[in-house]
Structure 1
Amino acid sequence: MELDPIDLKLLAALQRDSTITAHGLGEALNMSPSQAGRRRQRLETEGIIAGYRAYLSPEKVGLRVQAFIQIVMATHTAQNAQDFVRMTRTRPDIVGAWTLTGEADYLLRVYCADLAALNLLVQQVLLPHPAVSRVQSQIVMERVKPDAPLPV
């Protein structure tokens, strides 16, 4: 699907404020609320808008430690990868997981209540996992730039 300049402007507006109404979108796009609403619906139907969510303050919900954890697999088999990915999807403290090129095979983004909880995750979940050979964690000291909108 081709995105025209109005679609891109609509997507940028929604990334700034996903709760914006059709009326607000219409004003931002210089079109009627019904036209803006139809464009938004088309972008949702096409899967370009994948969903909406509320961004919570980790600290205010008791998650005071954020870390990135690099995982090196013990062996590179399809079964090991499936088992490891299945485990990451079942853990609420693992909020993001990526496969990588380079030395590490996976990068995990985790949020924990405290250092003790992070230690439990590493020592009792990740290191004992049969697919895992090595774990290296980096604790986030300060977030200097929040997750930004996509550059549309």
Structure 2
Amino acid sequence: MAEKIEIQQVDRQLLNALQEDGRISNQDLAERAAMSASACWRRVKALEEGGVIERYTALVNPEAVGLEFHAMVHVVLSRHQAGHVENFIQAVMTRPEVLDCFATTGDSDYHLRIRCRDLAAYNAFLEEFMFSLEGVSTVKTNLILRQLKHETRLVV
């Protein structure tokens, strides 16, 4: 990541527009921000290089592609040895079922948001992966019955 940049009002306009429509043309983006296309391109490039814009992506409807199972998984490690923690984190990072992984305070050490095909796929994830990780003491699953809000856009 490059040096940190100061976020100005024009940057907020650009970021809000890009979060609304990541496929917006540079010309349209420049018009929204009332700036020239070249200045807009330079500013977006600076936001990318400064690490403010991490990446561009398409949001996919999970149910439309057969990912019906959705759960929050709470993981407790048996011992907080550096090797166990590092191995757990590295292993979790490789699994496509894990959409989010948070290290937290409280009863659980980690909270994972999981998406997969169905209960059988989740059981395979548990048996073949989660329960085989050294240092994992407890795994608790909360099924997500319905998603009331899912937002990717940040208020900037």
TM-score of the pair, normalised by structure 2: 0.92
Q: 1:123 aligns with which of 121, 127, 131?
A: 127
**Aligned residue identity for 2:54:** A
Alpha-carbon separation, structure 1, partners of 2:49 and 2:94 = 28
* 8 Å CA contact retained: 1:96, 1:109: yes
- Give the deviation of 1:146 after TM superposition: 1.5
Structure 1: gaps of 5 or more residues: none
SS in 2 for 1:127: helix
- Give the deviation of 1:63 after TM superposition: 0.7
1:47 aligns with 2:51: yes
- Give the deviation of 1:97 after TM superposition: 0.9
1:34 aligns with 2:50: no
TM-score of the pair, normalised by structure 1: 0.94
Aligned length in residues: 152
Q: 1:138 aligns with which of 113, 138, 142?
A: 142
Residue 74 of structure 1 corresponds to which residue in structure 2? 78
**Aligned residue identity for 1:110:** I
Alpha-carbon separation, structure 1, partners of 2:8 and 2:98 = 36
Structure 2: gaps of 5 or more residues: none
SS in 1 for 2:147: coil
RMSD of the alignment, in Å? 1.2
Residue 101 of structure 1 corresponds to which residue in structure 2? 105
Alpha-carbon separation, structure 1, partners of 2:144 and 2:107 = 21
- Give the deviation of 1:135 after TM superposition: 0.6
Offset from partner CA, 1:37-90 (integer Å, 9 cap, x none): 111111111111111111111112111111110000011110000111111012
Alpha-carbon separation, structure 2, partners of 1:102 and 1:2 = 34
Q: Percent identity?
A: 35
Where in structure 1 do 4 or more consecutive aligned residues deviate above 3 Å? none
